[in-house]
Structure 1
Amino acid sequence: MAITSDIKLDKVDVTYVTYSEKTPEIQSQSSRAALVPRGLLDDEQPDAESRPLPPGPDDFPEGGTRGWLVAAGTAGIMFCTLGYANSFGVFQAYYIQNQLKDHTPDDVSWIGSLQVFLVFAVGVLGGPVFDRYGPWVIRPAAVLYFVSVMLTASCKSYWQFMLVQGVLSGMSNSLLMFPSMAATPQYFFKKRGAAMGMAIAGSSLGAIVFPIVLSQLLEKIGFEWAVRTCGFIMIPILAFSAIVIKARLPPRQSNFFVMTAFRNPRYVTLIGAVFCQFLGMFTGLFFLPTYGIFRGMDASQAFYLVAIINAASLPGRIIPGILGDKFGSINSLVGAGLTTSIIILCWPTTFTSAGIYAFSVFFGFTSGAIISAGSVVFTHCAPNPREIGTWMGQGIAVASIAILIGPPINGALLSRFHGFDELSLFSGVMCLMGTVLALIAKVYTKEGILGKV
């Protein structure tokens, strides 16, 4: 162990001191805690061999059979969780015409916004739970989530939908989604954007399948069995995911929150960027079927708009992830936010069915890129790969407040003005503001605002 006296007092962090038989002068201090602040002692400092180093890019396996199986398992969970939640536009339009026809659009939108908010907000627990205990949490959460889907089929009143589809489904959804999302980055560094894009693309596939299933079955066999059919589809997929998702790194015993993360200006600015973009982009997912009916489409056609949006978001979540590995995940978020804001601002100019279908395709592609890039940018802020789940979970949890308040705000605008112009203007400007904040976040990187980051 090297003993030095030129300790820098302004560099304070924590390391483990390794004791040796050849250093009795250090052994005589064994009564002191083994965990000491490096930089505060004026007479000792561990050498390079005894100092734990953070894992670098070369420490990641970059996939392999196990890594890609974990990514596939994450895609399966995303299919069943966020894919199903992103189908709420179908439920929104159906409830307004059936079970909840006595309620306003903003009342109904609270069910879906609460569900999606809890999906992301409870991630502040789901990510750290995975960091601490590994993937075991996925199995009981899968059972609870399946139960919530089955109970939704039996709901009749507003408060029942709010409790079951909003609260129970949202919370169990999150405890499935975030542990799986925290597992995938442990296997990838250089290919992390592509792997996460593939995993998150499962939600797009689910949001294609479930709206089609619902639109076909709601009128044929009724609401109860249409929703139960969705639950039965989830069973084998959730079982596969629960088996293949494994942690690569050992459990990390620490607090559920890394409060020092909020001292990182890049991290905080990115939270603001994702918040604003979420505030704008979820409008289309919730209200496009209602807009289709507003423009004269029949209900079955309008329900398919959700499937079209999510079909387009499938490549929108994969391609920007691959490009993000090459050009930078923040750059990917900037491009996604800018194009989405332009498309949303053009929304009220679509009058025909063909125009609405075209809008759905473009909006689906660009908004899907926001979901993909918005998750990856937080993983690159974490200084330690073992804290990826916590940094990502708490970052998205704060940003998800936008999902809770955004759709009801837009529902209130729709009820107040009886049109979509004000709704489009508000959502487009919010996405544009998020784009500006993402650019500002680049200032806090070593690559700078023009760099590939």
Structure 2
Amino acid sequence: MCISLIVAGYKLSIPFFQINSKLSQTPLVPLNVNSEASQPVNLNVYPEGGLRAWLVAAGTAGVLFCTLGYSNSFGVFQAYYIRNQLRDYDPDDIAWIGAIQVFLVFALGIIGGPVFDRYGAWVIKPAAVVYIVSVMLTASCAAYWQFILVQGILSGVSNSLLMFPAMAATPQYFHKRRGAAMGLAIAGSSLGAIIFPIVLSQLLERVGFAWAVRTCGFIMTPILAFSALTVKARLPPRKSRLFIWTAFKSARYTLLTAGVFFMFMGMFVPLFYLPSYGIFRGMDATMAFYLIALINASSIPGRILPGMLGDRFGSINSLLTAGLFTAIVIFCWPMATTTAAIIVYSLGFGITSGAIISAGSVVFTHCAPEPRDIGTYMGMGIAFAAIAVLVGPPINGALLQRYGGYDQVSVFSGVMCASGVVLAFLAKFNTEEGIWGRV
């Protein structure tokens, strides 16, 4: 036997014999909400699957394919610009283009995540249009300042407003299987970072820079159209403040943010410089461009499996393991001196570093006190960590310019990544499970 209560515009249906216990436990959700999720829902009950949930995950994968997948291909642009349009500029100057782009992708999560929590996934549609325009405009750039404005700033801003609403939508449908779902969705970025470097490496010398980049834009258009139709919010928006600064009162959240910051400082450098390193070691330029595709091909299992293992053994444990192995691999960078060794190195780096993106996103979602705060917690955490992406590659470009080799780059990046591991480990002291717990 059930009864329905209407209280101040809220509806609550509960078994009669459980009225006393459930009234204090079940969140009240408005009946009429101007959002994509117009039906009353229980905030603490997750579908954990179903057609709509997996369509949202697929749509998120599509967004990440076009956004982070394309941004992670900047190593191809770095190597091409050094030899062509921007050959009069130093490597660290050119690295600023990609650094600004990737920084804005992650940093503006501080807006993209909260906007999703407040207003839903509608922001994806206009952001997708602006992003496609930015890619097409990049094809017409020739001067350094044009690349900074278009490929760096415009692409980075629109990229972020696409990526974070999509990434915040998927965790609303999964809890126990969140790591697996997020890993599968984030693997879309790895697939994109396989396809786009191959497309660019095949077309840059054949049809020229402009049409090579435009082809990437044509590939993105139908995929983003699909994502704009499938990514939907499950929960009604929260009506409270846009940002939740009290999140940083949590030592766990703050330490995880700092830990991901230092891991980002180290892990993004090979993505920028491995093609240049290959050419430095005598590798054919076309083959060197393929290194980014190899890294991201191997990062697919690196992004899916840690998410699944994180569901079983804990997302922080997954992040710690990924960061530790990535630091070790970065320290070994200068030891890869032949073409075969560099290829094997790229595959190993892809497996370990791919897990940082996957686990680093999931750890923030588990810090949110309720699911309607997930986008904000994820966006703010990754936004502050993204400062590392802005400064890391140019610092290493300066080291490369000064010393003329990659030993110093390897040591600096490896130490940064290892420092992130220590901070993430300290975060476990501030969990109920403790340092040895599955958290």
1:253 Cα shift? 1.4
What's the TM-score, normalizing by structure 1?
Answer: 0.89
1:132 Cα shift? 1.3
Q: What's the counterpart of residue 244 of structure 2?
A: 258
Matching residue within 140, 153, 164 for 2:150: 164
1:51 Cα shift? 6.6
Q: What's the counterpart of residue 69 of structure 1?
A: 55
Q: What's the counterpart of residue 223 of structure 1?
A: 209
Structure 1: 5+ residue stretches without partners: 1-17, 20-45
The Cα offsets for residues 120-145 of structure 1, whole Å up to 9 and x where unpaired, read as 11111111111111111100000000
Q: What's the counterpart of residue 269 of structure 1?
A: 255
Q: What's the counterpart of residue 295 of structure 1?
A: 281
Q: What's the counterpart of residue 23 of structure 2?
A: 49
1:149/1:273 CA distance change after superposition, 3 Å: same
Q: What's the counterpart of residue 107 of structure 1?
A: 93
Matching residue within 61, 76, 82 for 1:96: 82
Find out whether 1:190 has 2:164 as its counterpart.
Answer: no
* Aligned equivalents of 2:173, 2:24: Cα separation in 1: 26
SS of the residue corresponding to residue 59 of structure 1 reads coil
Q: What's the counterpart of residue 128 of structure 1?
A: 114
* Aligned equivalents of 2:400, 2:44: Cα separation in 1: 52
* Aligned equivalents of 1:136, 1:270: Cα separation in 2: 30
Q: Percent identity?
A: 70
Max Rg structure = 1
* Aligned equivalents of 2:43, 2:367: Cα separation in 1: 14
Find out whether 1:382 has 2:356 as its counterpart.
Answer: no
1:48 Cα shift? 6.6
Q: What's the counterpart of residue 31 of structure 1?
A: none
The Cα offsets for residues 137-180 of structure 1, whole Å up to 9 and x where unpaired, read as 10000000000000000000000000000000000000000000
* Aligned equivalents of 1:104, 1:298: Cα separation in 2: 21
* Aligned equivalents of 1:318, 1:215: Cα separation in 2: 27
1:250/1:56 CA distance change after superposition, 3 Å: closer
CA contact (8 A) 1:340 1:363 kept: yes
Q: What's the counterpart of residue 436 of structure 2?
A: 450
SS of the residue corresponding to residue 410 of structure 2 reads helix
Q: What's the counterpart of residue 320 of structure 1?
A: 306
CA contact (8 A) 2:43 2:371 kept: no
Q: Give the letter aligned to residue 275 of structure 1.
A: F
CA contact (8 A) 2:169 2:231 kept: yes
* Aligned equivalents of 2:203, 2:194: Cα separation in 1: 15
Q: Give the letter aligned to residue 228 of structure 1.
A: R
CA contact (8 A) 2:49 2:174 kept: yes
Q: Give the letter aligned to residue 181 of structure 1.
A: M
CA contact (8 A) 1:74 1:184 kept: yes
What's the TM-score, normalizing by structure 2?
Answer: 0.91
* Aligned equivalents of 1:166, 1:423: Cα separation in 2: 23
* Aligned equivalents of 1:80, 1:166: Cα separation in 2: 16
Q: Give the letter aligned to residue 441 of structure 1.
A: A
CA contact (8 A) 1:57 1:189 kept: no
1:254 Cα shift? 2.1
Q: Give the letter aligned to residue 205 of structure 2.
A: E
* Aligned equivalents of 2:323, 2:69: Cα separation in 1: 21
Q: What's the counterpart of residue 338 of structure 1?
A: 324
Figure out how many residues of one structure are paired with residues of the other and give that number.
410
1:56/1:356 CA distance change after superposition, 3 Å: farther
